[in-house]
């Protein structure tokens, strides 16, 4: 019982530390982080009530939760990057509008960046600082933002036809985005299939564990888990195996 209490308190302390890391502060607001903390606490209390007699299972559960919280920012950042093209297009639209109202490129950029929020705003601010210092050498961590930075530096240096050049770049990005959306719709069916089969498998696994026990059927569960993991890997490989012949 004392060990379970120790695991409970230790898990909570680790999650508080993880949520204070830079990755979380860049991606989520204070309210969102508090919500995660509350969610973790809620889950931990339920599992403590169910598993307080079995410290080992409670420890495994807390470790899995901590691992999930540690890796979650990676997936969230990937999701943000996937939608970055649309955000960049909207950003350029606003900059063009500001410039058409009579502002210069730099002041338009700054006023539009100030209106953005969260993760995207931080990325744009980093980019803006490098544009002001005409820094072509430093690489912004995200490829799309880096490409935008290079383009904006060149347009800024040209000093004339800024709006036309920005519109040409916007047309170029729009074509890329249209194509990307079409290709994404094609791969969406494989994603949907993977999600549905994973959910069915997890449901079945939960049923088998609750009805027949986990340790009694550990061989069967391990073999089916390995087969399922292999099939997911193969599905991902098939999805990413497309190579342009053009």
Partner 1 sequence: METLAPPLELLLQVKKSIEQGLPIKKGIQKYLELSKGSFPADLMRWLSLLQQGQSTESLKNSIPSLHRRILLNVLERGLCGEAIYQHLCQLEVEFLEASTGEIDKYIGRLPFLMLIPMLLIQFPALLFLLFGPLLQNLFHSFARQ
Binding site for partner 1 (CB under 8 A): 143, 146-147, 150, 154-155, 158, 161, 164-165, 168-169, 172, 175-176, 179-180, 182-184, 186-187, 189-190, 193, 197, 200-201, 204-205, 208, 211-212, 216-217, 220-221, 223-225, 227-228, 230-231, 234-235, 238, 242, 244-246
Give start and end residues of each alpha helix (H) in the chain: 2-19, 22-27, 30-51, 55-82, 84-100, 105-115, 118-132, 143-158, 162-212, 218-240
**Residue 220: CB minimum distance to partner 1, A:** 4
**Residue 185: CB minimum distance to partner 1, A:** 9
**Residue 98: CB minimum distance to partner 1, A:** 20
CB 84 within 8 A of CB 145: yes
Residue 174 token pair: 């729009």
**Residue among 3, 6, 19 at smallest CA distance from 65:** 19
Determine the Cα angle at 240 with ends 176 and 201, to 5°: 125
Please state, in angstroms and rounded to a whole number, the distance separating the CA atoms of residues 180 and 216: 48
The SS3 of residue 65 is helix
Whose Cβ is closer to partner 1: residue 45's or residue 168's? Answer: 168
Sequence-distant (≥ 6) Cβ neighbours of residue 24 within 8 angstroms = 18, 33, 73
Whose Cβ is closer to partner 1: residue 46's or residue 188's? Answer: 188
Sequence-distant (≥ 6) Cβ neighbours of residue 139 within 8 angstroms = 146
**Residue 81: CB minimum distance to partner 1, A:** 12
Whose Cβ is closer to partner 1: residue 62's or residue 162's? Answer: 162
Whose Cβ is closer to partner 1: residue 62's or residue 148's? Answer: 148
Name the DSSP class of 217.
Answer: T
**Residue 234: CB minimum distance to partner 1, A:** 4
**Residue 60: CB minimum distance to partner 1, A:** 20
Whose Cβ is closer to partner 1: residue 37's or residue 194's? Answer: 194
Whose Cβ is closer to partner 1: residue 119's or residue 201's? Answer: 201
């Amino acid at each position: 019982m004392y060990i379970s209490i120790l695991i409970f308190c230790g898990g909570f302390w680790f999650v508080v530390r993880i949520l204070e890391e830079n990755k979380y502060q860049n991606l989520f607001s204070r309210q969102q982080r508090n919500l995660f903390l509350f969610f973790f606490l809620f889950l931990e209390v339920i599992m403590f009530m169910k598993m307080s007699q079995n410290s080992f299972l409670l420890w495994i559960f807390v470790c899995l939760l901590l691992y999930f919280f540690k890796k979650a920012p990676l997936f969230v950042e990937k999701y943000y990057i996937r939608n970055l093209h649309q955000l960049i297009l909207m950003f350029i639209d606003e900059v063009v509008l500001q410039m058409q109202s009579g502002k210069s490129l730099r002041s338009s950029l700054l006023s539009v960046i100030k209106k953005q929020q969260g993760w995207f705003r931080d990325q744009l601010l980093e980019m803006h600082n490098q544009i002001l210092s005409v820094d072509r050498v430093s690489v912004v961590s995200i490829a799309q933002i880096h490409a935008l930075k290079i383009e904006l530096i060149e347009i800024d240096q040209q000093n004339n036809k800024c709006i036309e050049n920005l519109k040409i770049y916007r047309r170029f990005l729009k074509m890329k985005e249209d194509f990307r959306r079409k290709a994404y719709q094609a791969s969406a069916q494989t994603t949907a299939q993977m999600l549905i089969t994973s959910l069915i498998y997890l449901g079945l696994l939960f049923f088998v564990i609750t009805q027949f026990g986990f340790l009694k059927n550990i061989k069967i569960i391990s073999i089916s888990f390995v087969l399922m993991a292999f099939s997911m890997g193969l599905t991902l490989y098939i999805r990413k195996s497309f190579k342009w012949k053009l």
